């Protein structure tokens, strides 16, 4: 007779003994690991996004007009800074270390007052309460010129004056052009009839530069264009005030046909013309004179006899 033996397997008990127990609100190990992994991934992405978000730094790039760092004297330059800032940007401009402007437009117009300059712009960008900063600088040079029209002059009226341009230039132009003999030459001559300022315009390395010189007249005299030789004791001779300052002068008077009517060396009050030719009274009318002042200056004009 066979004997049956019952064997009871307590697998569940062994399983409980082999598996750590968790609190009621805990997670099984596999699920816990998965959530932890997801958490780490999400946190890494958030960190990267925050870094990208907060890295909205002002990446400034200069745009100069003209597109070079050397200006002509008197020329201004317009600076523009562009930025990748996705929020609120503020730009602070400095010239040679001194703050001159703060704005949000990123533009700055500058007229240099010295040859060598350094332009800096400091950018701040605020996005979501996070502020980042950046800066950039550029040198700015003004072309050095030494154009010189010469010192101011003081001369007697009627003097032939020489003006000379010196310095660095490719070409020049004097003005008023009608007052000088060759306005496009460095050395010119002029005989001003009043105090006159001349402008010298020079061109050098593509730049227009200017200088000025003034000719001041002394012993100024004006030549009258009429007189009345009628023997009434008033204005009977042709008196030229100031002519005594030019004792080496020479006077010639002619009619409209070019006939010489009067000639005198050292014309003055004593030998002034009385409207006669060889003692004979000349008729009323217009006559022509040529006066050499003795200093290279020649004056020409008309004189009318009115009785």
Cα–Cα distance for residue pair 256/216, rounded to 1 Å:
35
CATH number at residue 160: 2.60.40.10
Q: Name 91's bridge partners.
A: 103, 123
For residue 45, is it within any domain?
no
Concatenated DSSP letters for 48-98?
HHHHHHHT------B--BSSSSEE-TT--EEEEB----SSEEEEEEEETTE
- Are the C-beta atoms of 179 and 190 separated by less than 8 Å? yes
pLDDT surpassing 70 at residue 1: no
Q: Tell whether pTM > 0.75.
A: no
Higher pLDDT pick, 163 / 74: 163
Same domain, 137 and 164: no
Cα–Cα distance for residue pair 163/171, rounded to 1 Å:
15
Which pLDDT tens digit goes with each residue over 185-233?
999 999 898 899 999 999 999 999 999 999 998 877 789 999 999 999 8
CA 208 → CA 53, 60, 117, distances in Å? 50, 32, 21
pLDDT surpassing 70 at residue 19: no
For residue 148, is it within any domain?
no
Q: What is the DSSP letter of 257?
A: T
Decide which of 117, 142, 167 is a domain's last residue: 142
Which pLDDT tens digit goes with each residue over 113-143?
999 999 998 888 888 888 888 888 889 999 9
Q: What domain range is 173 assigned to?
A: 153-218
- Are the C-beta atoms of 77 and 93 separated by less than 8 Å? no
Same domain, 99 and 166: no
Same domain, 157 and 214: yes
- Are the C-beta atoms of 220 and 195 separated by less than 8 Å? no
For residue 129, is it within any domain?
yes
Which pLDDT tens digit goes with each residue over 28-57?
556 666 776 766 776 666 665 555 544 444
Same domain, 186 and 209: yes
Q: What's residue 85's pLDDT?
A: 78
Same domain, 100 and 157: no
In the block, tokens 């020049």 appear at 172
Q: What's residue 29's pLDDT?
A: 59
Residue 287, φ and ψ in degrees, nearest 5: -125, 170
Structurally, the chain folds into a number of domains equal to 3
Residues 6 or more apart whose CB falls under 8 angstroms from that of 59 comprise 82, 83, 84, 134
pLDDT surpassing 60 at residue 4: no
Same domain, 179 and 248: no
Q: Considering the chain, what is the average pLDDT of its residues?
A: 82
- Are the C-beta atoms of 84 and 95 separated by less than 8 Å? no
| The two three-digit tokens of residue 143, written as one number | 């072309």
What beta strand segments (E) does the chain contain? 70-71, 77-80, 88-95, 98-103, 107-110, 116-127, 130-142, 153-156, 161-164, 171-175, 187-190, 196-204, 207-218, 226-227, 250-254, 260-265, 276-277, 280-281, 285-292, 298-305
Residue 34, φ and ψ in degrees, nearest 5: -65, -40
- Are the C-beta atoms of 298 and 275 separated by less than 8 Å? no
pLDDT surpassing 80 at residue 2: no
For residue 91, is it within any domain?
yes
Summarize the confidence of residues 86-95 as an average pLDDT: 88
pLDDT band at residue 89 using 50, 70 and 90 as cut-offs: confident
Decide which of 218, 242, 267 is a domain's last residue: 218
Same domain, 78 and 108: yes
pLDDT surpassing 60 at residue 12: no
CATH number at residue 107: 2.60.40
Decide which of 142, 175, 193 is a domain's last residue: 142
Same domain, 238 and 300: yes
Q: What's residue 30's pLDDT?
A: 60
Same domain, 231 and 186: no
| 183 cis-preceded (ω within 30 degrees of 0) | no
pLDDT band at residue 169 using 50, 70 and 90 as cut-offs: very high
For residue 33, is it within any domain?
no
For residue 286, is it within any domain?
yes
For residue 23, is it within any domain?
no
For residue 196, is it within any domain?
yes
Same domain, 123 and 164: no
Summarize the confidence of residues 270-298 as an average pLDDT: 92
Which pLDDT tens digit goes with each residue over 230-254?
999 899 999 998 888 889 999 999 9
Q: What's residue 258's pLDDT?
A: 94
Cα–Cα distance for residue pair 250/261, rounded to 1 Å:
14
């Amino acid at each position: 007779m066979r004997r049956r033996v019952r064997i009871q397997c307590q697998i569940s008990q062994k399983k409980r003994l082999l598996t750590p127990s968790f609190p009621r609100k805990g997670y099984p190990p596999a699920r816990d690991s998965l959530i932890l992994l997801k958490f780490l991934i999400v946190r890494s992405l958030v960190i990267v996004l925050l870094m990208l978000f907060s890295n909205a730094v002002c990446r400034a790039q200069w745009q100069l007009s003209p597109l070079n760092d050397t200006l002509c004297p008197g020329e201004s330059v317009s600076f523009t800074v562009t930025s990748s800032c996705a929020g609120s940007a503020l730009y602070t401009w400095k010239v040679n270390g001194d703050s001159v402007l703060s704005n949000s437009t990123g533009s700055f117009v500058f007229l240099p007052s010295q040859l060598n300059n350094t332009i800096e712009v400091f950018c701040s960008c605020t996005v979501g309460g996070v502020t980042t900063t950046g800066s950039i600088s550029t040198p700015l040079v003004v072309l050095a010129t030494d154009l010189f029209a010469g010192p101011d002059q003081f001369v007697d009226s009627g003097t032939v004056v020489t003006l000379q341009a010196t310095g660095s230039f490719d070409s020049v132009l004097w003005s008023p052009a009608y007052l000088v003999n060759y306005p496009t030459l460095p050395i010119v001559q002029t005989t001003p009839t009043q105090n006159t300022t001349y402008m010298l315009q020079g061109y050098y390395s593509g730049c227009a530069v200017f200088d000025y010189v003034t000719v001041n007249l002394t012993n100024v005299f004006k030549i009258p264009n009429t007189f009345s030789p009628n023997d009434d004791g008033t204005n009977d001779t042709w008196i030229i005030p100031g002519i005594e300052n030019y004792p080496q002068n020479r006077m010639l008077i002619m009619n409209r046909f070019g006939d010489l009517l009067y000639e005198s060396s050292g014309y003055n009050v004593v030998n002034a013309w009385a409207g006669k030719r060889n003692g004979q009274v000349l008729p009323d009318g217009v006559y022509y004179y040529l006066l050499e002042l003795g200093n290279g200056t020649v004056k020409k004009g008309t004189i009318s006899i009115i009785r």
